[in-house]
Amino acid sequence: MEIGKGLIKKSDNEEVEITLGRYKFDLEDGTPLLVQKGSERDDDDPTFDIGIDNEPTGYFRENTNTGRTNVFGGGEKLDEFIRSVETNHGYYIARYEAGKGDGDKPVSRVGEVVWNNITQSRAAEVSHGIYEGKESYASDLVNSYAWDTAIVYIQAMGNKNYANRTVENLSIQNTGVSGDERCHICDMAGNVYEWTTEYSTLTVGDNNYPCVFRGMYDGSSTYFTASRYYAGSGDFALYNGFRPLLYLK
């Protein structure tokens, strides 16, 4: 998708401009509210939740704090990602949720068995390593800026209220076959929850929940495309998957 390079013309000739940022989405109609531009990101970026009243609660953040134990190579690459998007006017997120393929690198192909049962740190590690050593481009686990801006783009292209879309099937599907495809991007609204580099400040007693996943799992109707939810750094389950992103250096 093109970001910050003039206006994008839709099929009906309407022109829209897409801004890289973290967004809240109205829980009724999906209207995006820009919380923070990528170009204005700093280590005191806002924390927010998408709760019943759509107001900040202070749980969710995204910055370059590399001291976090839940991120492998994700947080410290965020500024590099934002600079790339501002310079090159775009980025790519995988068309499909990550498939296991035949090795230790995720694949993005239709019909693959979803790579689930994976912790956030492992998802970040394998996403980071897809193009390790390449001089001109890099990969990473999807971050909150990339996820939110993709929703804005998908909606701007005529897919109204995709932010609140849910897709329910009786079981986890292979990649790209659930019927949830918008702008050639599949399964953001369903199949499995997707780990991100965003993190949560939530603690309950002696327990903390630093990891964040987005989207919806097909076995639950509680969540939707724009949902955020917190988890422990060692958590993994059938419903935890991920999606890498790619950008130019």
Could you report the per-residue pLDDT of 51-99, keeping only the tens digit for each? 444 444 556 767 555 444 445 445 567 888 999 998 988 899 999 999 9
Check: CB of residue 78 under 8 Å from CB of residue 142. Answer: no
Q: How far apart are CA 159 and CA 161, in angstroms?
A: 7
Closest CA to 124 of 194, 225, 176: 194
pLDDT of residue 109: 92
**Could you tell me the sign of the dihedral formed by the alpha carbons of 42, 20, 203, 210, in that order?**
negative
Is pLDDT of 184 > 90? yes
Determine the Cα angle at 143 with ends 139 and 148, to 5°: 125
Name residue 140's beta-bridge partners. 245
pTM of the predicted structure, to 2 decimals = 0.88
Is pLDDT of 142 > 90? yes
Q: Predicted confidence band at 151 (pLDDT cuts at 50, 70, 90)?
A: very high
| pLDDT tens readout for residues 201-238 | 777 888 888 888 999 876 666 789 998 888 888 888 88
CA 82 → CA 16, 36, 135, 232, distances in Å? 20, 12, 17, 27
pLDDT of residue 113: 93
| pLDDT tens readout for residues 15-61 | 788 999 999 899 899 999 998 888 887 766 656 554 444 444 556 76
